[in-house]
Amino acid sequence: MIRMSAALAMAFAIAACSPNSDDTPSVATGTPGEGMGGATLADFKTGTVMKDLMAHVIDFSAFGVWHNQGWLIDADGVHELFPTDEAGWVAAESAAFTLAEASNALLLPGRPLDEDRRWVDWANQLYTAAMKAQATALAKDKQAFFEAGSEIYEACVACHNHYVQGDAPGVDAKLPELPNRTPPPQNQ
């Protein structure tokens, strides 16, 4: 019951802070006292290099979702990777929440890599997909959770295709090697 109350309170808090809200102040103004708690654009700390932000925050959280969904097919048959207990679903939900919030870190001053909004659009697509993963993990809806994971993947691939590999056809660029220290899913 406490978990449901906390989740409901979090949902209301997120809704209240939603960019769709008419009274949400714009961070772009950077004016102290206008909904930023006195913070200005100069107060943001964005010294983490993009490779580390991706590897240790974005990828780590995305793998926290992906390692908890799907099916493994081997000689012994089909094995579900979805959580089997409440703790597993809470971990998957938390990974999705973290990914959604981390997608906002991609939009902090100095992080967007272009002026034509592609970066912003893909970061927002990642946020939307991660919030869908959070909601479906909370509901323990395996199929919808799996589909949300696919949407997360699509947002990541679209962005990486443009910013890492480039849009030129035939370019044989590979993604940079990122340290993935996320432990593989436990055999269930």
The crossing angle, in degrees rounded to 10, of helices 142-160 and 59-66 is 150
Of the given ranges (113-117, 138-142, 146-150), which has the lowest mean pLDDT? 113-117
- Residue 101 has which token pair? 């919030």
CA 104 to chain centre: 9
Q: Taking 60 as the threshold, does the pLDDT of residue 8 lie above it?
A: no
Rounded Cα distance, 78 and 53, in Å: 35
User: Which phi and psi (to 5°) does residue 139 adopt?
Assistant: -80, -10
pLDDT tens column, 71-109: 999 999 999 999 999 999 999 999 999 999 999 999 998
pLDDT tens column, 150-183: 999 999 999 988 888 776 554 444 444 544 444 5
**Which pLDDT value is given to residue 122?**
95
**Which pLDDT value is given to residue 63?**
95
Instruction: Compute the average pLDDT of residues 108-113.
Output: 87
- Residue 136 has which token pair? 């479906």
pLDDT tens column, 12-44: 343 344 444 344 334 444 444 455 677 887 888
pLDDT tens column, 47-64: 898 889 999 999 999 999
